[in-house]
Chains A and B, each alone.
Chain A
Amino acid sequence: MRLELRDITKRFPGVLANDRISISADRGKVLGMLGENGAGKTTLMNILSGLYKPDSGQIFIDETERTFGDPVAAIEAGVGMVHQHFMLVPVFDVVEAVALGAETTKDALGTFDRAAARKRIVELSERYKLDVDPDARIESLPVGVRQRVEILKALYRRSDILVLDEPSAVLTPYETEELYAIIRSLAADGTTIIFITHKLNEVLEVADDIVVLRRGRVAGTADPKTATRQELANMMVGRDVELIVPKGPAKPGEVVLSIEQLFVRDDRLEMAVNGVDLEVRAGEIVAVAGVQGNGQTELVEAITGLRTPDSGAISIGGKRTEKWGPRQVSNLGVAHIPEDRGRDGLISPMTIAENYILDTYHEAPYSRNGVLNLKVVRERAAQGVKDFDIRTPSIDTYAGALSGGNQQKVVVAREFSVPVQLVIAAQPTRGLDVGSIEYIHRRLVEQRDAGAAIVIVSTELDEVLAVGDRIAVMYAGRIVGILAGDDATYENLGLLMGGATYGEGTAA
């Protein structure tokens, strides 16, 4: 079916999320929708799925105007969603998770007709080669399979238009290839596909048409056969982007962080870090690349003292720290910029001043003998706000009231308010606008040049390539290769992230 949106506008308090967006996708075609965070992709998708109502504009399916008051209407019109964060009940099995909301019943009691649902799911998965065990519990499935369940969910509802939101975010390059194959076969079968992403490579790879969104508007369209990466990037950001962070060559000094044969388990007691060896020297940035969920989180938690390793050694500045807690590690001069800043890095209902001393409140000059010196706290916090260009009405503003970029600046200002020898930055720019990203990168490079050892964990290849002096790639809990920044390319990193060992090009 042909999908067309005309002049869709959606306004939130203070934000024009979608501004007269018009796009169309023909039957059996893949429309790649490109845009950075905050460009309005998710809002548009929520309008398509009936979760939001547009303020104005029209939606046409096969030239008939449709209005989606709620998700049911969208589903009935044939629009199916594959959400970035999977919408599957973890304790359900595949049959229950797929049928939820579209259950058939077999009697007056409303008994769920499981056999019928199972039969249909098996048929669909055979027809579209979506290999899934219908009786497996969702939480026991790997992410790649869960995504297939999401696609099955849409097909189960006879969707002719499939919207995929950042579908590759959690997939390995190999799984991503499999996903492309599924998309192509669905399109060949007549399904219309909207593929939302912020990754340039993906739209070039899989889309028939490309539309680029920027700040809630259509910034332009492109033909994947002729468009280049640089053109698309410029269109997405609106000016010539510096894909390279301005920095001189690294001058590595002493080893600051040394990790030997580290093994760490995750919350489900499975081995997440599987024998990692890594050395990071003063004055260099080591970027740890990898698809999400390959042990990076647990590695960071082990280094910062938040998680006790099973075995192995961690030394920071010559001291063995693998059994230390976060306070002791931090006292060594280790700055930690946590992955989930809203949850772990800041306390939203506390003020900027309070957040500024969140991990140094127990030390002079902020306190003495357990008594806070509020005057000094306020002075230093005000200085931090000035130094780090944090846009806020006052230091008494709640941290939760700041924008994402300013929140991250509060975290960085705090972490860099004391001398550091090691910086652990996990996904430091996730969800930030381009200006804030550049700012954070510049600050990290400054710390490097001042002689700190820096570890940046990132799932974004662009970020890894831009800031890493050396790049370590994690796969299945191990470091499968370390490249010099200059030698790294999308291609060789992509291979490593998929589990290939450097130099061999074969799966481990």
Chain B
Amino acid sequence: MKRVGPLLRRILVPVLSVLTALLLGGVVIILTDFDNLQKIGTDPLGTLGGAVQGVLNAYGAMLAGAFGDPNRIITALQTGNAADIARAIRPLTETLVSTTPLIFVGLAVSISFRAGMFNIGGDGQLMIGALAATASAIALNGVIPAWLILIATIAIATLAGAAWGFVPGFLKARTGAHEVITTIMLNYIASLFVFFILTTSPALRAAGSTTPVSKQLSSIVDVPNLINLPTIRLDFGFVVALLMAVAVSWLLFRTTKGFELRAAGFSSTAARYAGMSAGGSMMLAMSLSGGLAGMAGGFLVIGTVGQLSLDLSGGIGFNAIALALLAGLRPSGVVVSALLFGALTQGGKRMGIDTGIPFDLLLFIMALVIMFVAAPGLIRSIWRVRVAKPAPEIAQVSSESAGTV
């Protein structure tokens, strides 16, 4: 029981942050529901009811989309019909499918943040990883057995992402260029580069397609599924993501490299005085970070989606920043937050289909989450509770970095 108190205090701010952000998201839903608002002159009470109903509908659809219907799952399991079971548990497994890349990129953001680097380039690193995986899968098709292709493509995706992440790390260490600007620019460049390859390379481009997408890769290589049921996409990528969380945690807190990385993240001068190489830590952290994002891209393109397209990343990089901050940059917290965000993502898609409320509302909610986590004083004044200060890593990105913005 002794540990419950501190744990509660630790999760108070994250929980209230998400709650507040969702409430504000509800306000946005109400304010943009013009059909409902137009009635305000004639039927104010009805408008109010309509507003509340609109929000409940939206978030209800989100909940259903994220977790499915428990009764239905139980019934389906009792009947034992594979198609029924698949249909019933699909929302839940799709949530885990959405969670997988969020864990990878959330870990990527955390590891770079720990080293004092604010990696906003998750999207670009993911896209480059996905491109590398696609290209290598097509190139290796028929050359080596499929299981070897699987390993090779994921490894190549990881390396490619790491290389893309290394660039801003190197620039920061050598020239002081601030990673926020360089990673965002590299996002644009990565996306244009993928676009360029998909429009010009006959080897990669899907024949006869009007939009720039790659050939289907599922006939070449696929990540084995965890549950063998029709339409269920949950695969071993999820397991690898969990393993990566363990690995990152071990690296950060149990190894000398992780110690160096955290020390340099807090104070590059003190790290230098202690004989560490702060620049080396920056480059290592950004490479690891890019590698994790690249791995996410590999699993997305080989496993979940089976095809490279321009909207593959879908803003995962930005979401990952929010969830990493929410997790207090702890790998275990990243897994929990990624589950939450995966549910929001999956539910958000359903909300879009059922109620026509665009999925992008989530991005706005994520921004609010980051704001509340970084400024717990806001949570304190809204909810009248005592809150802890934000983690020191979060409190000092730009004060420590002598970068040029």
DSSP majority for the B interface? helix
Question: Which A residues are in CB contact (< 8 Å) with B273?
Answer: 304, 306, 326, 336, 338, 344-345, 359
Contact B275 A372, beta carbon cutoff 8 Å: no
Which A-B residue pairs are the 5 nearest by beta carbons? A327-B275, A349-B392, A359-B274, A326-B275, A358-B274
Q: Does A502 lie at the interface of the complex (its beta carbon under 8 Å from any beta carbon of B)?
A: no
Question: Which A residues are in CB contact (< 8 Å) with B274?
Answer: 326, 358-359
Which residue of A305, A328, A330, A361 contacts B259 across the interface (Cβ within 8 Å)? A361
Question: Which B residues are in CB contact (< 8 Å) with A343?
Answer: 267, 269-270
Min C-beta distance of B115 to chain A, whole Å: 13
Min C-beta distance of A304 to chain B, whole Å: 8
Contact A371 B255, beta carbon cutoff 8 Å: yes
Question: Which B residues are in CB contact (< 8 Å) with A305?
Answer: 275
Question: Which B residues are in CB contact (< 8 Å) with A350?
Answer: 262-263, 266
- Which residues of B are in contact with A by a Cβ distance under 8 Å? 253-257, 259-260, 262-263, 266-267, 269-276, 392-393
Which residue of A330, A345, A354 contacts B275 across the interface (Cβ within 8 Å)? A330
Min C-beta distance of A298 to chain B, whole Å: 15
Closest to B258 in A: A372
Q: Does A325 lie at the interface of the complex (its beta carbon under 8 Å from any beta carbon of B)?
A: yes
Closest to A336 in B: B273
Q: Does A347 lie at the interface of the complex (its beta carbon under 8 Å from any beta carbon of B)?
A: yes
On whether A344 and B270 interact (CB within 8 A), knowing A325-B275, A330-B275, the answer reads yes
Question: Which A residues are in CB contact (< 8 Å) with B275?
Answer: 305, 325-328, 330, 359
- CA of A354 to CA of B276 in the docked complex: distance in angstroms? 14
- CA of A358 to CA of B256 in the docked complex: distance in angstroms? 10
- CA of A330 to CA of B256 in the docked complex: distance in angstroms? 17
Q: Does A346 lie at the interface of the complex (its beta carbon under 8 Å from any beta carbon of B)?
A: yes
10 A-B pairs, CB-CB below 8 angstroms? Answer: A304-B273, A325-B275, A344-B273, A345-B273, A348-B267, A349-B266, A358-B270, A361-B259, A367-B256, A371-B255
Q: Does A370 lie at the interface of the complex (its beta carbon under 8 Å from any beta carbon of B)?
A: yes
- CA of A372 to CA of B392 in the docked complex: distance in angstroms? 23
Q: Does A374 lie at the interface of the complex (its beta carbon under 8 Å from any beta carbon of B)?
A: yes
Among A330, A350, A354, which residue has the most Cβ atoms of chain B within 10 A?
A350
Q: Does A120 lie at the interface of the complex (its beta carbon under 8 Å from any beta carbon of B)?
A: no
Q: Does A319 lie at the interface of the complex (its beta carbon under 8 Å from any beta carbon of B)?
A: no
- CA of A162 to CA of B270 in the docked complex: distance in angstroms? 38
Contact A347 B270, beta carbon cutoff 8 Å: yes
Q: Flag A329-370 by CB within 8 Å of B: 1 or 0 each.
A: 010000010100001111111100010011101100001001
- CA of A359 to CA of B256 in the docked complex: distance in angstroms? 11
Contact B270 A371, beta carbon cutoff 8 Å: no
Min C-beta distance of B330 to chain A, whole Å: 15
Question: Which B residues are in CB contact (< 8 Å) with A374?
Answer: 254
Closest to B275 in A: A327
DSSP majority for the A interface? loop
Contact A370 B392, beta carbon cutoff 8 Å: no
Contact A358 B263, beta carbon cutoff 8 Å: yes
Contact B254 A346, beta carbon cutoff 8 Å: no
On whether A306 and B254 interact (CB within 8 A), knowing A349-B266, A350-B263, the answer reads no
Interface size class of A (residues with CB under 8 A): 20 to 34
Contact A372 B255, beta carbon cutoff 8 Å: yes
Question: Which A residues are in CB contact (< 8 Å) with B392?
Answer: 349
- CA of A374 to CA of B259 in the docked complex: distance in angstroms? 12
Question: Which B residues are in CB contact (< 8 Å) with A346?
Answer: 270
A371-398 contacts to B, CB under 8 A, are 371-372, 374
Closest to A325 in B: B275
- CA of A171 to CA of B260 in the docked complex: distance in angstroms? 39
Contact B270 A354, beta carbon cutoff 8 Å: no
On whether A370 and B272 interact (CB within 8 A), knowing A347-B266, A350-B263, the answer reads no
Question: Which A residues are in CB contact (< 8 Å) with B266?
Answer: 347-350
Question: Which B residues are in CB contact (< 8 Å) with A362?
Answer: 256
Closest to B266 in A: A347
- CA of A357 to CA of B256 in the docked complex: distance in angstroms? 11
- CA of A182 to CA of B393 in the docked complex: distance in angstroms? 48
Among A327, A354, A357, A361, which residue has the most Cβ atoms of chain B within 10 A?
A361
Contact A370 B263, beta carbon cutoff 8 Å: no
Min C-beta distance of B165 to chain A, whole Å: 21
Contact A371 B263, beta carbon cutoff 8 Å: no
- CA of A354 to CA of B253 in the docked complex: distance in angstroms? 11
Min C-beta distance of B257 to chain A, whole Å: 6
Question: Which A residues are in CB contact (< 8 Å) with B260?
Answer: 361
Closest to A341 in B: B270
Min C-beta distance of B81 to chain A, whole Å: 50
- CA of A354 to CA of B269 in the docked complex: distance in angstroms? 16
A189-230 contacts to B, CB under 8 A, are none
Min C-beta distance of B274 to chain A, whole Å: 4
A303-335 contacts to B, CB under 8 A, are 304-306, 325-328, 330
Among A327, A348, A349, A367, which residue has the most Cβ atoms of chain B within 10 A?
A349
Question: Which A residues are in CB contact (< 8 Å) with B393?
Answer: 349
- CA of A348 to CA of B267 in the docked complex: distance in angstroms? 9
- CA of A345 to CA of B392 in the docked complex: distance in angstroms? 18
- CA of A365 to CA of B270 in the docked complex: distance in angstroms? 22
Contact A372 B269, beta carbon cutoff 8 Å: no
Question: Which A residues are in CB contact (< 8 Å) with B257?
Answer: 370
Question: Which B residues are in CB contact (< 8 Å) with A358?
Answer: 263, 270, 274
Min C-beta distance of A407 to chain B, whole Å: 12
Min C-beta distance of A369 to chain B, whole Å: 9
Among B262, B266, B271, B393, which residue has the most Cβ atoms of chain A within 10 A?
B266
Question: Which A residues are in CB contact (< 8 Å) with B253?
Answer: 372
On whether A370 and B267 interact (CB within 8 A), knowing A325-B275, A326-B275, the answer reads no
Min C-beta distance of A380 to chain B, whole Å: 15
- CA of A357 to CA of B260 in the docked complex: distance in angstroms? 11
Question: Which A residues are in CB contact (< 8 Å) with B254?
Answer: 371-372, 374
Question: Which B residues are in CB contact (< 8 Å) with A325?
Answer: 275
Contact A354 B255, beta carbon cutoff 8 Å: no
Contact A354 B267, beta carbon cutoff 8 Å: no
Contact A370 B256, beta carbon cutoff 8 Å: yes
Min C-beta distance of A448 to chain B, whole Å: 23
Question: Which A residues are in CB contact (< 8 Å) with B263?
Answer: 347, 350, 354, 358
Question: Which A residues are in CB contact (< 8 Å) with B269?
Answer: 343-344
- CA of A374 to CA of B271 in the docked complex: distance in angstroms? 20
On whether A370 and B270 interact (CB within 8 A), knowing A330-B275, A350-B262, A358-B263, the answer reads no
Contact B270 A372, beta carbon cutoff 8 Å: no
Closest to B263 in A: A347
Question: Which B residues are in CB contact (< 8 Å) with A306?
Answer: 272-273
Closest to A358 in B: B274
Closest to A350 in B: B266
- CA of A330 to CA of B273 in the docked complex: distance in angstroms? 10
- CA of A91 to CA of B195 in the docked complex: distance in angstroms? 47
Question: Which A residues are in CB contact (< 8 Å) with B271?
Answer: 347
- CA of A306 to CA of B271 in the docked complex: distance in angstroms? 11
- CA of A306 to CA of B277 in the docked complex: distance in angstroms? 11
Contact A372 B272, beta carbon cutoff 8 Å: no
4 further A-B pairs in the complex, CB-CB below 8 A; given A326-B272, A327-B275, A338-B273: A306-B273, A347-B267, A349-B266, A350-B266
- CA of A358 to CA of B270 in the docked complex: distance in angstroms? 9
Closest to A360 in B: B274
Min C-beta distance of B66 to chain A, whole Å: 36
- CA of A70 to CA of B24 in the docked complex: distance in angstroms? 39
Closest to A398 in B: B392
Contact B256 A371, beta carbon cutoff 8 Å: yes
Min C-beta distance of A26 to chain B, whole Å: 46
- CA of A26 to CA of B262 in the docked complex: distance in angstroms? 56
- CA of A219 to CA of B267 in the docked complex: distance in angstroms? 40
Closest to B271 in A: A347
Min C-beta distance of B111 to chain A, whole Å: 16
Min C-beta distance of B359 to chain A, whole Å: 37
Question: Which B residues are in CB contact (< 8 Å) with A344?
Answer: 269-270, 273
- CA of A359 to CA of B276 in the docked complex: distance in angstroms? 8
Question: Which B residues are in CB contact (< 8 Å) with A354?
Answer: 259, 263
- CA of A246 to CA of B292 in the docked complex: distance in angstroms? 59
Question: Which A residues are in CB contact (< 8 Å) with B256?
Answer: 361-362, 367, 370-372
Contact B270 A345, beta carbon cutoff 8 Å: yes
